[in-house]
Structure formats: structure tokens, C-alpha cells
Amino acid sequence: MNLRHARTFVTVAELGTVSKAAHRLRTAQPALSRQIIDFEQELGLRLFDRVGRRLLLTGEGEQLLAGCRVLLNCASAVTEQAQQLRQGDTGVLKVAGSPQHIESVLSQFLHRYAERYPNVEVRIAEGTGSEILKLLESGEIHLGQNLLHSVKLDKRHFGSLPLGSVEVLAACRPSLTLSDRDTIEVARLSGVPLLLMDSGFGFRRAFDAASRMAGLIPTIKFESRNPHTLLALAEAGHGVAIVPSQLQCRRYSLRIVGLTYRGRPLREPLTVSWDKRRSLPRFATDYCAMLAGYMCEIFPITRPTAPKPTISRRAPKQARRKPPAVSAR
């Protein structure tokens, strides 16, 4: 249906004459009359009866008038929505991240983002690194959070923005003597029962790569998709949990140490990625920049536990003995 013809029909019906309608629509009268005729031919109905100089709606025209008004209102709403989308201040933003990223970062960051973009609806999906990559490739999300080296992104098709680095931590029961420092070499985990993330997570693949370099064959006691399951088991003394520094651990009674390889901390760059073949609205690009700034403020979420200071035990000093009193004779 031609919207211009529908608008002409409604205007003529409201004003009653072609001349008044032509003046409002800023259209020549012959052209407007032609539009009415074309509209009647398109619908196969007679819409007006001419009575003197006025055009009166036929019965069919009266029944179609309300529907045409609804149609024009919907078209106007779509036009306004498109205008808002061009401004980049409203719409739907689909993002995906790991469970720990959603819990420790997005749970608070989304409040800050909503202050800047109150009319943007953010929809969150949870997944592992490979799952998030598939969502990006299929176009189901706009942005995905990933460890840089754990997922191979085709740089021709995908762009990314650094968000900082995630360190590899070992968490254990405080009574377990894992290390007398705030770090431990990954090779020293040989024979230690380990509680690990599922192999689908990029963080787990980063730990496996470090283990291979160190010649460590991990003793895996339990694997989980939920990092807090690992922390609960570690707190109960069932092993050592290998977790990222972006995971919140403060609710558990644990000793945290950083993992190193040849003295260097194990850490992985964290990024937010998108498909460069798909144009992003302004509120999506601003989301990336705001997220990077926010993570600079709060990272790392969890730090190694400070080692307890050693207290040297010295023999107690003996009280100075007073010389005996001398009696005068």
C-alpha cells in the first residue's frame, strides 16, 4: 500500500475538499485528485461521493478511515524510532561474557552504563570462550568478552579492545601450607589435588598451556563450570582451586597465592571483541570504552593474600638484679 495515497485519503476525509487537502499537503489539486483515484483503483473500492464541492466518505471509505490512521501512526512511529537509532542513544545491545566476568564486573558496571544510556536495553548471555566466539560469528551478540590468547580471532573479521589482564591464582584452605610467599611456581603443584574450571573456558586452556611449559602433569580432582563450586571445595579442604583474579573470593575463608612460571606471574590479556563486518551503533562502541575504563579502576578483583610476618622468638630479658643493701655498723 502506498503510504502517500493513504495520507492523502485521510487528509481529504478530514477536511472535506480537495483544495483544502492540497493546501495542507502542499500538493497541486490535479495531482492530489489523481492520488485519490489511484488509491481507489488499488483498493478496488469507491471511497468518496461528490456532493456539491465537498467529498463525502462512502460506507466503505468510513470503514477504511480508521485503519489508514493506524497505518500512518505506525509508519510515523517507525520513522521516529529510526531517527533515534541514528542518534545512537537507544536500542538493544547484546553482550556475552564468562560467569565470573558477569558477576564481578557487569553486575555493577551496568548501573554506570545505564546512567549514560538509559534507553539502551542490555541483554546478557553467559558462556565459555568458544561459545562466545560462536555467538559472535553467528551475529547473535554484538560484543563478547574473552581471554585474548585462548580464542583465535580472525583479525580480518573481528576487532577487539584490551580490558586489562587476568592473573592465575591458586586458592586453598588457610591451614594448607602451599607457599610461605604470596606466589608459587606452577611446577610446585605436582601431586597437589587440583580443582579446575571446565576445559571449555579460555582461562582453563591458559592454565593448561602454562602447565605444559613447566612440565607439570596436573592431578585433577574435580572440574566445574561454576568457579564458586571450586572455591567451596577448596575452603572445605578438598584441594587447590585454580581461579582467575577477576573472580570474587572474599566470601570464602581461603589463602590466595599467585601462580608464576620461572618467577614471572601467569596472566592473560582480557579483551572485548566484535565483528567488524557488522556496523556497531554508538552506544555499543561507547560501551567498550566505558567498560575498559571501569575495569582499570577495579582490577584485579582478587589479590594474593599477604604472607604472615615472621615473628622472631628471643629469650626474655632477665630482670636486672639490684645489689644487696649494705648495713652501716
pLDDT tens digit sequence for 138-192: 889 999 998 877 667 778 889 999 999 999 999 999 998 888 899 999 999 999 9
Q: Is 18 a member of any domain?
A: yes
Residues 49 and 198 in one domain: no
Alpha carbon of residue 201 to chain centroid: 17
Residues 81 and 111 in one domain: no
Q: For the chain, how many residues are written?
A: 329
> Of 55, 86, 117, which marks where a domain is finished?
86
Query: What is the percent of the chain with per-residue pLDDT over 70, rounded to a whole number?
Result: 91
pLDDT, residue 76, reads 77
> Of 49, 68, 86, which marks where a domain is finished?
86
Judged against a pLDDT cut of 60, whether residue 315 lies above it is answered with no
Residues 130 and 249 in one domain: yes
For 98, counting Cβ atoms within 10 Å of its Cβ (0-12 exposed, 13-18 middle, 19+ buried), the class is buried
Q: Is 109 a member of any domain?
A: yes
Distance CA 64, CA 48 (A): 12
Residues 39 and 105 in one domain: no
pLDDT, residue 309, reads 62
Q: Is 27 a member of any domain?
A: yes
Residues 106 and 244 in one domain: yes
Distance CA 224, CA 226 (A): 5
Q: Is 204 a member of any domain?
A: yes
Q: Is 323 a member of any domain?
A: no
For 275, counting Cβ atoms within 10 Å of its Cβ (0-12 exposed, 13-18 middle, 19+ buried), the class is buried
Q: Is 328 a member of any domain?
A: no
Range from 90-94, 118-122, 244-248, 316-320 carrying the lowest mean pLDDT: 316-320
Query: What is the percent of the chain with per-residue pLDDT over 90, rounded to a whole number?
Result: 53
Residues 64 and 168 in one domain: no
Work out how many domains the chain is built from and give that number: 2
Q: Per-residue pLDDT tens for 51-100?
A: 877 888 998 988 888 889 888 888 877 876 676 667 668 889 999 999 99
For 218, 227, 278, the CA distances from 204, given in Å and listed in that order, are 12, 11, 30
Q: Per-residue pLDDT tens for 251-271?
A: 999 999 999 999 999 999 999
Q: Is 52 a member of any domain?
A: yes
Residues 117 and 197 in one domain: yes
Distance CA 32, CA 37 (A): 9
> Of 86, 118, 138, which marks where a domain is finished?
86
Q: What is the mean pLDDT of the chain?
A: 88
pLDDT band for 327, please (50, 70, 90 cuts).
very low
Distance CA 50, CA 53 (A): 7
Judged against a pLDDT cut of 90, whether residue 293 lies above it is answered with yes
Residues 100 and 141 in one domain: yes
pLDDT, residue 83, reads 66
Residues 175 and 228 in one domain: yes
AA letter at 262: R
pLDDT band for 322, please (50, 70, 90 cuts).
low
Q: Is 327 a member of any domain?
A: no
pLDDT band for 236, please (50, 70, 90 cuts).
very high
Domain with residue 140: its CATH number is: 3.40.190.290
Q: Which residues pair with 240 in a beta bridge?
A: 194
Q: Per-residue pLDDT tens for 100-150?
A: 999 999 999 999 999 999 999 999 999 988 889 889 888 899 999 988 776
Residues 192 and 55 in one domain: no
pLDDT, residue 326, reads 42
Domain with residue 13: its CATH number is: 1.10.10.10
Residues 61 and 192 in one domain: no
Q: How many alpha carbons fall within 13 Å on the CB side of residue 283? A: 23
Residues 67 and 140 in one domain: no
Label residues 122-132 b or e (16+ Cβ within 10 Å = b).
Answer: beeeebbbbbb
Range of the domain at 7: 3-86
